[in-house]
Amino acid sequence: MKILLLLAHPNINSFNHAIAHACRDQLMANGHTVIYHDLYTENFNPLIDQDEIPKQARIEEVIQSHCKDLIESDGIIIVHPNWWGQPPAILKGWIDRVIRPGVAYKFEEGDNGDGLPIGLLKAKVSLVINTSDTGEARESTVFKDPLETIWKNCIFDFCGVKTFDRKVFRIIVTSSLEQRMKWLKEAAQFVNHYFPPEK
């Protein structure tokens, strides 16, 4: 299988990087092809120009390449921190520029905005792994866990990826090295469950 692995964290020494590497190692050990994008290292430009918004717009070669990677993927894994209940801005920009009409979704011809989107992605499974410094109870009761809604409902279900799962590691700021090593094993097991070894 071809798996798109997307990382969004500016610190190359961050736990997010360690998670992404653990995911990549597990995928490769299982015989999958990994399309890996570290958005900060690649200096991905998150700013979308108004001329780029229309479905038939001419888009930059780098965006065309990201769109191709998305279209060809059998599975998607995204690793990022929870910042103010949202993905980092660079990742939101990736969504704006790559999750495009005609690439990830479409509407029926003549639809005036009342119809349901038709998902175009061939990926069957999408996974999101987040780090957070907010406790689970507070996240769910006070903040209503906006990242779950964003990724599951607003993006992946919208684009036709029906199997979604998400894992959150918390509390990062007070976690020990021992705890982080345990979490990395959990991340690998999480990936292994959905993308087991190729037969």
Structural domain boundaries in the chain: 2-194
Predicted local distance difference test score (pLDDT) of residue 55: 85
pLDDT of 112 strictly over 70? no
* Cα gap 152→157, rounded to integer Å: 6
Across the range 33-50, mean pLDDT stands at 97
Predicted local distance difference test score (pLDDT) of residue 113: 63
Predicted local distance difference test score (pLDDT) of residue 109: 76
Predicted local distance difference test score (pLDDT) of residue 136: 75
pLDDT of 7 strictly over 80? yes
| Residue given tokens 């009761």 in the structure block | 141
Q: How many CB atoms lie within 10 A of CB 181?
A: 11
Token pair in block for residue 35 = 């399309």
Predicted local distance difference test score (pLDDT) of residue 137: 73
> CATH fold of 2-194, please?
Rossmann fold (3.40.50)
Predicted local distance difference test score (pLDDT) of residue 54: 84
Residue-wise pLDDT for 56-106, tens only, equals: 899 999 999 999 999 999 999 999 999 988 999 999 999 999 999 999 999
* Cα gap 153→133, rounded to integer Å: 23
CA distances from 15 to 36, 180, 183 (A): 17, 8, 10
Residue-wise pLDDT for 137-183, tens only, equals: 777 787 678 898 999 999 999 999 999 999 999 899 999 999 999 99
